[in-house]
Chain A
Amino acid sequence: EAGVAQSPRYKIIEKRQSVAFWCNPISGHATLYWYQQILGQGPKLLIQFQNNGVVDDSQLPKDRFSAERLKGVDSTLKIQPAKLEDSAVYLCASSSHIGMNTEAFFGQGTRLTVV
């Protein structure tokens, strides 16, 4: 099966600029996650969607980050305005459903550098 697709792979922007990332999950996967992975750390959840509804966005910095999943398929994550500390790899993952014993499938990630 095709994997989780993300674009772009790399992005370099200046601080205070805006940036958007796109994710296409595995076909039929109802649950979609955005994780932020800062260098030297493990992935940290930003937001979790179930179909087109938000399940958990408690760790999303809502003053600058936003995410949507229109029609319950593709998703976009936006940062506006970006700060230096937003430099990280942004990972999208999907799973067939929410529940125990559910495997999450990850995309290649988007590496963001804010200068």
Chain B
Amino acid sequence: AQRVTQPEKLLSVFKGAPVELKCNYSYSGSPELFWYVQYSRQRLQLLLRHISRESIKGFTADLNKGETSFHLKKPFAQEEDSAMYYCALLHSGNTPLVFGKGTRLSVIA
């Protein structure tokens, strides 16, 4: 079965410090990976997807098939980055997203 693992429940960093939110997945095929974010009192929303190879709000994520990882990175954390971050996997066209348990990022001023 497909599985998404986010090993950290909580990650605290100082403003301006680099951030790396870890995500590992288990799936033997070619999945599509996403990062979703939920800011306080807001709905869950897409942050970025690996297929787009884009940088959103300074965040990037690279799919490493050898390590089955899709870590989310940002060189300089900002206070407004504080939120819950969920890594999610889509393994085929007609299946739903499979989510990890999430990591709460807290950026300290």
Query: Contacts A100-B51, A101-B49, A101-B51 known; A45 to B96 CB distance under 8 Å?
Result: yes
Residues of B within 8 A of A43 (CB): 44, 86, 97, 99
Residues of A within 8 A of B98 (CB): 45
B93→A99 contact, CB < 8 A = yes
A3→B95 contact, CB < 8 A = no
Report the bound CA distance from A108 to B95 in whole Å.
22
Tell me which of B9, B86, B94 contacts A55 (CB under 8 A). Answer: B94
> Which of A49-93 touch B at CB < 8 Å?
50, 55-56, 91, 93
Majority secondary structure of chain B interface residues (helix, strand, loop or mixed):
loop
B13 within 8 A of A: no
B44→A106 contact, CB < 8 A = yes
A-B contact count (CB 8 A): 56
Best-buried of A40, A43, A101, A103 by chain B (most CB within 10 Å): A43
Interface size for B (C-beta < 8 A) is: 24
Give chain B's interface residues, CB within 8 Å of chain A: 4, 6, 9, 32, 43-46, 49, 51, 86, 88, 90, 92-102
Give chain A's interface residues, CB within 8 Å of chain B: 3-4, 33, 40-45, 48, 50, 55-56, 91, 93, 98-109
User: What are some 16 contacts across the A-B interface (CB < 8 A)?
Assistant: A33-B96, A40-B101, A41-B101, A42-B6, A42-B100, A42-B101, A43-B44, A45-B98, A55-B94, A56-B96, A99-B93, A100-B90, A101-B32, A102-B90, A103-B46, A103-B49
